[in-house]
Structure 1
């Protein structure tokens, strides 16, 4: 009785694992690039005033370290999942500026922020002109800005580690060419 030879695997297990890891990382990044292909490379020149009446200068804010810009809406159910992670970052070590898209007047947005215990700075965008200048058409969208440049944008559900990784990578990329 002869035994049939076992079929040879095409690739060793570690190579297959490495290829899956590369796909796991690169496919979402490529999707983000495609989704946000109309977004500008630099921060649009806009006067941003938060709900407290303070002017927010993203170019100045992003001069030393990356800033997370979070486009969200009070009516967005997915934003309710992402906002707590952004809120944690805002109370931690990263600067955060948020834009409430088509969410009503300043009083309505402020009431929503109080109700949901959101501590981040909010710029109201009731008619969507700020979001359009950024090429944002869907919420939630997160952009990482460093030195006035938009380094990355993503839309949809994003995990706290995913947000932190984007900020960290933007900081690394920003310091790579520094003297």
Structure 2
């Protein structure tokens, strides 16, 4: 390889690294500004699922990290994220989901059955819980360990991205 080709290749590599770093900085910034501001007592509030069970966030996050997935049936990005979250739950992941403004319990239960979801679903029918937690974007993923928020992200996330975040929270 002659010097011109090597120089050109090196310049492309350098520019590629710069673009990747800029993209990561933008993604981090967007997550930072869209992250919810959860009240200090958020994990002490038990929530009831559409299955009738009560879920205690503090207790669920005590032994291993808990993924709280805030989503909506009407959210276009959630259509791609929800199957990944459900797969995580299906494979034994510690997951609780909160459906934001997605109808009453009966309507939401029909939707969940139609999609064959196994993850626990809490219905935030009027948006009161998400408003209290200051969640304004769907989907929002919050990872809680020992009743403390360790990670939040918004928007689409892959199955492996969730698994990595959960693993990192447990380290």
Global fold match (TM > 0.5): yes
Mapped contact 1:42–1:148 kept (Cα < 8 A): no
Tell me by how many angstroms 1:94 deviates. 1.5
Alpha-carbon separation, structure 2, partners of 1:97 and 1:73: 14
Deviations 1:62-121 (A, max 9, x none): 011111101111111211111100000011131100001101110001000000111110
Identify if the C-alpha distance between structure 1 residues 43 and 83 changes in structure 2 by more than 3 Å, giving closer, same or farther.
farther
Indicate the residue corresponding to 2:38 in structure 1.
40
TM-score by length of 2: 0.84
Alpha-carbon separation, structure 2, partners of 1:35 and 1:61: 25
Kindly name which structure, 1 or 2, has the bigger radius of gyration based on alpha carbons.
Answer: 1
SS for the counterpart of 1:77 is: coil
List alignment gaps of at least 5 residues for structure 2: none
Alpha-carbon separation, structure 2, partners of 1:75 and 1:93: 27
TM-score by length of 1: 0.80
Tell me by how many angstroms 1:21 deviates. 5.4
Tell me by how many angstroms 1:139 deviates. 1.1
List alignment gaps of at least 5 residues for structure 1: 173-179
Mapped contact 1:144–1:167 kept (Cα < 8 A): yes
Q: CA RMSD in A?
A: 2.7
Number of aligned pairs?
A: 167
Indicate the residue corresponding to 1:175 in structure 2.
none
1:89 aligns with 2:81: no
Tell me by how many angstroms 1:43 deviates. 5.7
Indicate the residue corresponding to 1:129 in structure 2.
128
1:166 aligns with 2:159: no
Mapped contact 2:45–2:57 kept (Cα < 8 A): no
1:114 aligns with 2:104: no
Mapped contact 1:43–1:58 kept (Cα < 8 A): no
Alpha-carbon separation, structure 2, partners of 1:41 and 1:22: 32
Runs of 4+ displaced beyond 6 Å: none
Alpha-carbon separation, structure 2, partners of 1:96 and 1:74: 18
Indicate the residue corresponding to 2:100 in structure 1.
101
Alpha-carbon separation, structure 2, partners of 1:43 and 1:98: 18
Identify if the C-alpha distance between structure 1 residues 168 and 22 changes in structure 2 by more than 3 Å, giving closer, same or farther.
farther
Alpha-carbon separation, structure 1, partners of 2:91 and 2:39: 27
Indicate the residue corresponding to 1:176 in structure 2.
none
Query: 1 or 2, which has the higher helix percentage?
Result: 2
Tell me by how many angstroms 1:20 deviates. 5.5
